[in-house]
Amino acid sequence: MNVTWLLAWRNLWRHGRRTWLTVGAMVFCNLLLVFMISLQLGSYQMMINNSLAMVSGHLQVQHGDFMADQRMRDTVPAVVALSDSVRAALGVDAVAARGQAFALASSDDRSFGVLLTGVQPTLEPQVSSFPGLVNRGRYLRADDRDAIVIGAVLARNLQVDLGGELTFLGSGRDGSFAAGIATVVGIVDTGIADLDRVVAQVPLTWFQDVFTMGDHGHAVVVRLPELDTVPAAVSTVQGLVADNDSLRVLDWEALQPGLRQAIQSDMASNWFMYAVLIVLVAFSVLNTQLMSVLERTREFGVMLALGMGPGRLARLVAMETLLMAALGLGLGLFFGALLIWYLSVAGFTYPGMEEMAARFNMGDRMYPEVSLLALAWGPTTVFVFTLVAAIYPALRLFRLEPVAAMRAA
Amino acid sequence: MSAIICKDLCKTFRQGEEVITGLDKVSLSIDAGEFVCLSGPSGSGKTTLLNAMGGLDRPDSGEITVGEQRLDTLGKGELADIRLNSIGFVFQAYNLIPVLSARENVEFIMQVQGVPAAQRRLLADQVLAEVGLAGMEGRLPSELSGGQQQRVAVARAIASKPRLVLADEPTANLDTHSAAQLMDLFVALNQERGVTFVISTHDTRVMGYARRLVRLQDGRLISDEPQQPHTMAQG
């Protein structure tokens, strides 16, 4: 066996308690990082999927100007046929056509502005979680003609209940006056008050009739099984609509830029906290190694006298740190993997989570992301910083003079 | 052929405001294969001279040559190479690495010297047997007596087959019996291997083993005489 490695390993255990305390700090930091990062990534995934499932889907085909201007005339022609083509091309069922208009909704007593969405009743539940959030009445059916599902806050504001009639006034695609009457069949409570205040869904066929859309719509919405399949799906759909210059394929980041910003902002503050944690552990290692070097000054002096160069001594200290860091890394990864495996099955919740969950339409339990990044990033960074922390104690050895060092107490 | 040539070596130390003379124009020539004792009271310059001979400390002025190398002109790295490959050191306090066994202490230096792993263990066991520690190779320093620890230190010093062994008060921490055994070992190594020994001591019994006795006082060489060696047992 290599005697230098043996020496490095045994040197670690000269002060076993001190070594374990330092390794313990590393393992604790690694565990915390694995836990936080996997939970963070898992919550982002949940936030994204839940937010996308509610309204926008993972990608949409729209008229190039619709996203910015939301004008009625910026439409997708033959929207249902295009939707069928996209479904076939992607091989996923969760593809649906939509139309969208701002209108004035009036009940007997009150009027409010609403965002009226024409949907395909049988397909919409596959692209959106909205139909599943009906808490009174029912969602739209294929044979519905002039039925409407509205948000709970809107229903309260309009003072309308199931079976009540709402009159809609708006502008058609051709600029004409659009008006229609629909009967409330369902009331939705998404938990997001801003959404429940304006949301209303009607069958796409009724929407196309009332708003003189013909076979046009405003979007083909796609919901994909996995977030990481979005780029490939975007590319496939872009190929499908390449011959129509007016159409654009938008991924979720373009559809919900605020969501990306919220995630980035949250990430920035979390990374700062992680950096502080890692630096603290690095200083703990620096302290341990510096003490270890200082208390062995005499021994290092003897080694210098026997002909070892300071570079070899520095390498010995680096080996000791490497072994300690490897121990921290190994134990951190092992216990971290156990922890996130358990949490990925059992889930995790904490006080105050409901508020955040409601804001971002998340479930009441969070499930960490089990990935190599979540598991390895924290421990690997701690490992690297631990090695960096050994540089200063190791460099001190280059200043040692054998005679002076051997006189050290 | 000369193993060591010192010419007008001077060395001073500062202790606060006071300047202490370590060596004052010491000139000395030691031939290969000699067995020399440096003697003198504490503060006479024995250790300072030994450190200069071993390239551990630089003289303020003067020349020092070990073998064919002028030590006073070499850099740190070159001095370390010479210490590693050409000079063996034995210290008063043994200075073994406490977490390594006797064999590993010897092997460690051989590894630094680049001795292949396959040979190291064999050589370490051979040299430990030579110093009378066969069967104790696996013991840690804390499991050995002072005399045994010093033997391990000797084994470590001679494992690299140096031309020169410098020993600084090697018997100071040993009882009479262990000291006699150690000195007998030094004499045997000197005679059988032709290794040059320079030993600093103020123990008159140790001086008796030397064939040449160099006396120092206040950093000056006051006598340099050949003598008929005798052992401790002879008194």
Q: What pLDDT does residue A285 have?
A: 87
C-beta separation of B64 from B164 below 8 A:
no
A140 has a pLDDT exceeding 60:
yes
Give the confidence band of B26 by pLDDT, cuts at 50, 70, 90: very high
A363 has a pLDDT exceeding 70:
no
A161 has a pLDDT exceeding 50:
yes
d(CA A369, CA A344): 7
Q: Does the beta carbon of B114 lie under 8 angstroms from any beta carbon of chain A?
A: no
C-beta separation of A13 from A320 below 8 A:
no
A40-49, A111-120, B126-135: range with lowest mean pLDDT = A40-49
User: Token pair for residue B235?
Assistant: 């008194």
- Average pLDDT on B69-79 reads 89
Q: What pLDDT does residue A384 have?
A: 92
A361 has a pLDDT exceeding 70:
no
What percent of chain A clears pLDDT 70, i.e. is strictly above it? 97
Chain A hits for B120, CB-CB cut-off 8 Å, are 3
B18 has a pLDDT exceeding 70:
yes
Q: What pLDDT does residue A289 have?
A: 87
| Count of CB pairs separated by less than 8 Å, A with B | 67
Q: Does the beta carbon of B168 lie under 8 angstroms from any beta carbon of chain A?
A: no
- Average pLDDT on A47-51 reads 80
d(CA A234, CA A213): 26
Cβ–Cβ of A7/B56 closer than 8 Å? no
Give the three-class secondary structure for B87: strand
**Partner-chain residue, chosen from B76, B95, B112, that has the shortest CB–CB distance to A312:** B112
Chain A hits for B95, CB-CB cut-off 8 Å, are 298-299, 302, 406
* Least Cα separation, residue B52 to chain A (angstroms): 10
C-beta separation of B44 from B220 below 8 A:
no
- Average pLDDT on B59-71 reads 91
Q: What pLDDT does residue B209 have?
A: 92
Cβ–Cβ of A2/B117 closer than 8 Å? yes
d(CA A223, CA A230): 9
DSSP tag of B148: H
Cβ–Cβ of A4/B108 closer than 8 Å? yes
Chain A hits for B91, CB-CB cut-off 8 Å, are 302, 305, 406
Q: Ranked by mean pLDDT, which of A203-207, A258-262, A285-289, A356-360 comes out on top?
A: A203-207
Sign of torsion, CA B143 B144 B149 B154?
negative
Instruction: For chain B, list the domains and their CATH numbers.
Output: 35-59+75-226 (3.40.50.300)
Q: What pLDDT does residue B197 have?
A: 94
- Average pLDDT on B11-36 reads 91
Instruction: Read off the pLDDT of residues A249-296 as tens digits, 9 standing for 90 and up.
Output: 999 989 888 888 888 888 888 889 999 989 998 898 899 889 988 988
- What is the chain A residue with the closest CA to B112? A308
Give every strand in the sheet of B69-70, ordered side by side.
Answer: B18-31, B2-15, B61-66, B69-70
Angle at A327 between CA A321 and CA A333, to 5 degrees: 130
Q: What pLDDT does residue A52 have?
A: 82
Residue to test with chain B: of A1, A3, A295, A407, most B Cβ within 10 A? A3
User: Token pair for residue A123?
Assistant: 């397909």
B235 has a pLDDT exceeding 50:
no
Complex ipTM: 0.88
